[in-house]
Structure 1
Amino acid sequence: MRRDVYQAIADPTRRQILMSLTGERKKVNALAAQFDMTRQAVSLHVKFLQECGVISIEQEGRERYCCLEAQKLSEVADWLEPFRTLWNKRLDRLDNLLDELQGKNKKR
């Protein structure tokens, strides 16, 4: 089965794992300690994220470190860009309307 970045971010636990890795790489055990689930369950999420290409695993001795592969997430940012543009235009119109209404209130 082909896995992609959208499947990676579809699950709240996987999103939390990704957020946790934004600051630094972490051991799988350290990630597991952040969740109220078994280490095995977290390991399955980690494996899924690796298959999606959004994290990589570095083996150092007996330890496995998870590293965020943020460039893969740019696919989501690219997909969201038209929506960001749409919302920015709508918010700009709302700003203009509020400025206009405040101007009318000051004249009274």
Structure 2
Amino acid sequence: MDKHAAALDDTFLALADPTRRAILSRLGQGPASVGELAAPHGMALTSFMKHLKILERSGWIVSSKAGRVRTCAIVTDRFADVGAWVYGHRSLWER
């Protein structure tokens, strides 16, 4: 499997989970701390951090730490990758 295919797999894996999609929706409003992102999900922080790691590894978010606060922000480049893949297959699917 080439790098591009592996990156696309990671992208769709990240989007497959409703918690991760909710995180991306929230980050669409602007950067947020891990605590802010975790609050609405009612899960242990260690479980929530697994979602953030998947999003970060797949390139959907970046995080930075200032003191004890870790802040996450969305990376909009990933939308172009998904859009290009879908657009590239659209004519095939519409037949």
Verify same fold: TM over 0.5: yes
Cα contact 1:32–1:39 (8 A) shared by 2: yes
Q: Provide the C-alpha distance between the structure 1 equivalents of 2:25 and 2:90, rounded to a whole number of angstroms.
A: 22
Q: CA deviation at 1:7?
A: 1.1
The equivalent residue for 2:85 is: 79
**TM-score of the aligned structures, taking structure 1 as reference length:** 0.70
The equivalent residue for 2:24 is: 18
Within 5 Å, which residues of 2 pair with 1:62-77?
A: 62-77=68-83
Structure 1 segments (4+ residues) deviating >3 Å: none
> Percent of aligned pairs with the same residue?
32
Q: Secondary structure at the residue paired with 1:24?
A: coil
Q: Provide the C-alpha distance between the structure 2 equivalents of 1:5 and 1:76, rounded to a whole number of angstroms.
A: 8
**Partner amino acid, structure 2, of 1:34:** P
Which one has the largest radius of gyration? 1
Cα contact 1:21–1:67 (8 A) shared by 2: yes
The structure showing larger relative contact order (alpha-carbon pairs under 8 Å, at least 6 residues apart) is 2
Q: Provide the C-alpha distance between the structure 1 equivalents of 2:52 and 2:76, rounded to a whole number of angstroms.
A: 15
Cα contact 1:5–1:73 (8 A) shared by 2: no
Structure 1 stretches lacking a partner, 5+ long: 88-108
Q: Secondary structure at the residue paired with 1:67?
A: strand
Match 2:12 to one of 3, 6, 12: 6
Q: Provide the C-alpha distance between the structure 2 equivalents of 1:37 and 1:83, rounded to a whole number of angstroms.
A: 37
**TM-score of the aligned structures, taking structure 2 as reference length:** 0.79
* Residues 1:56 and 2:23 aligned together: no
Cα contact 1:17–1:31 (8 A) shared by 2: yes
**Partner amino acid, structure 1, of 2:22:** Q
Q: Provide the C-alpha distance between the structure 1 equivalents of 2:39 and 2:73, rounded to a whole number of angstroms.
A: 17
Structure 2 stretches lacking a partner, 5+ long: 1-5
